[in-house]
Structure formats: structure tokens, C-alpha cells
Amino acid sequence: MAIYVIVGVVVVLLIAFVATYNRLIRLRNQVKNAWAQIDVQLKRRYDLIPNLVQTVKGYVKHERETLEAVTKARNLAQQAASSGAGERAKVEGELSAALSRLLVVVERYPDLKANQNFLALQEELTSTENKISFSRQFYNDSVLRFNNQTQMFPSNVVASVTGFKASEFFEVPVAEERKAPKVSFT
Amino acid sequence: MWEQIRSNHIRSAILVTVMGVLLLLIGYLLGLYFFDNGIGGIIIALVVWAVMNLVAFFRGDSILLTLSRARKISRDDHPRLYNVVEEMRISSGLEKMPDIYIIDDPALNAFATGRDPNRAAVAITSGLLQKLNRDELQGVIGHEIAHIKNRDVLLMAISAVLLGTIVILAWYATRIMFFGGMAGNRRSSSSGGGSGQIIILVVGIVLMVLAPIMAQFIYFAISRKREYLADASSALYTRYPEGLASALEKLAASTSQLKSANKATAPMYILNPFRKKGMSASNLTGTHPPISERIRILRSMVGGASFADYDQAYRQVHKTGRQLLPASAMTTGAIGLHAAGSEATEQEPDEAQRAREISDLLWHRSGYKTISCDCGARLKLPPKFKASSIRCPHCGRVNQA
């Protein structure tokens, strides 16, 4: 009789172990997938910026500094493309700030705002900014759920035995966000 | 929040099961009444149900889209709409981009369809697309994507089919009972039925009359709960409940009804296409909660954008202690709100320009080509136009086609 109880308990534990392990795998894959989504949007932004700078250049004569800041921030961000979430969030935050400064400056040039090409670019850029923040949002949610599982009992036992490590959040530094001027159209 | 969806599914599954039992009961009584064999009746009911399911499963979304005369658009047709849908896809974590359709109708409405999240579509009327600014559009699309993500579309299809089967069976049964009543009575008396037969008859008639009504109430109950959940999800995806609130306000203010909607498709829309003006729809027969209430809940979400915040706002508006969403949904922790996007703080969209944008799109979808003349006029060339150049009717310049 006792042998059956022991076998039964072992089987139940084994099933629970496998189920937890699979859940961890699923959550980690979701984190990876969410990270890939951010990556796609950040690359899209690198591609859009040279076009934008090119289009804007012809119209704005006195804003060389702003334009250069954007180009510089973009190049820095692209160089940091292979680093971890924390480092990357910092340089991308700087790029976002430089871009929104440029978009504020641009408001002073009505000719530019009538340019069809610029309007299309602006739509793409606005949307890419949104997509970056939405994919960041989804990534951080996924990381939170994955990390909870790796830290909470009993799944943390399975996680530590099978070598799952907590993931890093993609946090735009609060100070950077504050520094970025709020875009307002008048 | 994923647990939330699952637990909501369990509740909905119970309601659907009740409808299923109702269907079986009708089948049983039908069989008992017409050929003294309850099992035979159940089999007939199940066959009717299965056939309707197959049709709904394989052709349902295309039937719906055809009925509402929706046209599929690509990214280049309307970049803003496409982008907003993609933003919401990313925010909700939906893996595949849904197809996007435009319904050429001045009424303000939108719906989502598709039997699973990988084969879904969102449709929006040209009127709505014209009226909303970017934040509002985001709110509305977020609501539709939530229907896809929460698998409401499938659930509503399943319960719509069940409802349809019950209504059809009950309708035919009552007609046959009333008009063929004599024959039925004669047969049952000859087979030696007594008071038991009469009880079955009475119960049968009562059930035939009540079942469709009951099924309808259940259907509406499922639908209403789903609307709240979709609103809450939209607020969560956009982190900006005001967007959806102000979009709903614009929807509420409009009086034009959607031409192509019908009763069966009503729960799919973001707001009930058949609502009458000035009707307070907080009753059992509404597929949607009243708009003013949905707006008030969204506007009361001051603390954050999570489901817990939505639930708190709901309880505040209803002055009730009862939770709308199950407690397992509220575990995600605090979720902050976004500031307004670029357009909301700005002026309303330029309607004339928007209207032109959409009419160009629809012309384009019907095979027309647009060329702009130097004088500022835009010439639309029909698909049959073969000549290589055309003279502008405004200024007389000759343009290359």
C-alpha cells in the first residue's frame, strides 16, 4: 500500500515539475518574441531618420544643431544595438528626446508642414514612436510575468534547478523622459 | 490579466452550456411529441446545430464582411489606419496582423471578426475613420483588437449559432403544433396516452415559447460582459482611456444608422447599430451597455490603466460593491496612464481633408487612377481609360496618364 502512495506522490510531483518547466519555457519565449518586436521597431526608426533629416534640411536653415543631435543620437543608438536591454534603453531614450526636440522645432516652418513627403514621414515616425512604446510596454509585461515565475515559490525551485534567470526590463530612464519636451501643436 | 481572460471564459462557457442544454431539451421534447422518441429529437437538433456550425466556422467571417459590404485595404491605401491597427496589435501581443476593412458608410461604427486570433479582421466605417483623431482611433481599434485577443469573436459566433438553432427549432415546432395540432392529438390518443402526454404537451409548448427568449437573454448577457472587458482591455493597451471615451462620445452623438447591419451581427459592433435615439439601454435586451455609462466608467479611471482601475471605476459609477472582473485579473500591479498624444491636445481632424483622403482611397480600390494636375486639380481616371494623356478640365494643361 505504502509503495503505491509513494509512486503516486512521485508521479504527481513529476507532472507538476514538467508543467512548470513548460510554462517557464513559454513565458521565456514570449519575452524573446517581445524583445524581437522592440528590435524591429527600433531598426525601423534608424531607417527613417536619415530620410527625415534629408527632407527637413532643405527647409530649416538655423537648426543645424538640432539636426546634428538627432543624427548623432541615431548613430550612437545603432552602435549599441547589440547590447543588453538596460544599456539600450538609455541610448534609445536619448534618441527619442532628440527626435521630439526636432519635431517641435519643425512646427515653426509652415512650408515644411505642407510638404507631402514630410507629412508621410511624420506619420511613419509618430507611429514608429508609438510602436516602440507599445512594444516596450508588452515586453515589460512579459518580463514581469516571467520574473514572477522565476522568483515565486514553487516555480522558483524548478527555475533554479533548470537554470532560468530573470530578464532585464526595458526602462526608459525617468530623468530622460522628463527632459524630453512635450510636443504641443499650436 | 491572462488569468482574467481564462476565468471570464469559464463563466461564458457556463452560459453557453446552459444554452446547449436548452437546445437538447427542445430537441428531446420535439422528438417525444412528434415521434414518441426523445433521442431522435435530440439527434435532429444536433444535426441542425452541426450544419449551422460548419457554415459559421468556414464561411462566417466572409459572410459577415460581404453582408456589411466591407472592402479590404492595404498599408498604402491608408497608412494612418494601418499603423494604428499595427500599434494595437503590438500592444496587445497579438501575433498576426489582422486584415483591415473599410465599410463605405457615413454611420459611425466598427467591428471585429474571425474565428481565431490568427485569422481575424477589423472593419471600420468610412464615417468613423473621418471623425476620429488618432487617439480616439487608437481607442476604438484597441477595443476591436481586444475582441480578437479575448476570443470574443469565436465565443459570440458559437452562442449566435446556438441561439439561431434554438430559435429555428422552436419556431417550426410551435407552427407545426398549432397548425397540425389536430393530427397530433388524434395520434397521441390512439397510442393510449394519458395525463402524462398532456403534461409533456403543456411543458413543451411553454418551453417552445420561452426557450428562444431565454437564449436571447443569455446571448445578450454574454455580449454585454464582453463589451466591458473589451473597453477595459482597450484602456490597458492604449494606457489612455480618454481616447476611447471621447470616441464613444462622438459615436453617441451621431444619429445615422448603419445600413448594412442586421440583428445577428449586432453584437459584433462597437456600439449597437440599432439603438434608438434617447433610449436608455440599461435593460436586459441590450447587446451593449449604454454608451453614457461606458464613457463615465472610462473617464473615472484616474488612478491608472489596469483592469483593477477599470473595475474600481465601474464600481464607482454603479455605486455597487460587486466586482465586474474577477479578482485574479487585478494582480498585474499598478499601470500608469499615458499623457495625451499629439492630436488630442490639438484641434479636431480636418474633416474635409479626411473626407477627400477616404474618397480617394475608395476610388483607388475600385480601380481608378488619380493624377494631380499642376493647377491643383486631381483627375480620377476610370479603369477603362486607355489613352496616354488627358486634358485637365480646369486649366487645359495636358497631363500624362
**Which residues, 6+ apart, have CB-to-CB distance to B187 below 8 Å?**
none
Q: Grid coordinates standing for B265?
A: 451581427
Q: Smallest CA–CA separation between A42 and chain B, in Å?
A: 13
Matching residue, cell 510531483:
A13
For residue range B208-264, list pLDDT tens digits in order: 777 777 777 777 777 777 888 888 889 888 888 888 998 888 887 776 656 555 555
Q: Give the closest of B237, B239, B342 to A185, CB-based.
A: B342
Could you tell me which chain A residue has the CA closest to the CA of B90?
A: A135
Residue ranges of chain B whose pLDDT lies below 50: 1-2, 182-192, 276-285, 328, 331, 342-347
Could you tell me which chain B residue has the CA closest to the CA of A145?
A: B332
Q: Grid coordinates standing for B6?
A: 481564462
The CATH code that applies to domain A2-179 is 1.20.1440.20
Strand-pair category, B369-372 with B99-103: unpaired
Q: Are B230 and B248 in contact (CB under 8 A)?
A: no
Matching residue, cell 528626446:
A97
Q: Where are the domains of chain B?
A: 1-360, 367-400
Q: Grid coordinates standing for A101?
A: 526636440
Using CA atoms, how far apart are residues A23 and B383, in angstroms rounded to an integer?
Answer: 55
B400: number of Cβ within 10 Å: 7
Q: Are B273 and B251 in contact (CB under 8 A)?
A: no
A86: number of Cβ within 10 Å: 12
Matching residue, cell 409548448:
B205
B144 is catalytic: yes
Q: Which residues of A touch B342 (CB under 8 A)?
A: 126, 183, 185
What is the model's pLDDT at position B284? 43
Chain A contact present for B376, CB below 8 A: no
B222: number of Cβ within 10 Å: 23
Q: Grid coordinates standing for A118?
A: 514630410
Tell me if residue B390 falls in helix, strand or coil: strand
Using CA atoms, how far apart are residues A95 and A62, in angstroms rounded to an integer?
Answer: 21
Q: Grid coordinates standing for A137?
A: 510596454
Task: Report CB contact under 8 Å: A142, B93.
Answer: yes
Chain A contact present for B367, CB below 8 A: no
Using CA atoms, how far apart are residues B123 and B143, in angstroms rounded to an integer?
Answer: 12
pLDDT at A23 over 50: yes
What is the model's pLDDT at position B130? 86
> Helix crossing, B291-299 with B195-238: angle to 10°?
40
For residue range B89-148, list pLDDT tens digits in order: 998 888 889 999 988 888 888 888 877 788 888 989 888 888 888 889 999 999 999 988
Q: Smallest CA–CA separation between B176 and chain A, in Å?
A: 54
Q: Which residues of B touch A145 (CB under 8 A)?
A: 2
Edge-to-edge strand list for the sheet holding B121-125: B70-73, B99-103, B121-125, B110-113
What is the model's pLDDT at position B84? 92
Using CA atoms, how far apart are residues A4 and B47, in angstroms rounded to an integer?
Answer: 46
Q: Which residues of A touch B83 (CB under 8 A)?
A: 123-124, 127, 130-131
CA B139, B141, B145, B146 torsion: positive or negative? positive
For residue range A91-138, list pLDDT tens digits in order: 888 888 888 888 888 888 888 877 878 888 888 888 888 888 888 888
Q: Give the closest of A138, A183, A184 to B91, CB-based.
A: A138
Using CA atoms, how far apart are residues A106 and B111, in angstroms rounded to an integer?
Answer: 37
Q: Grid coordinates standing for B340?
A: 495625451
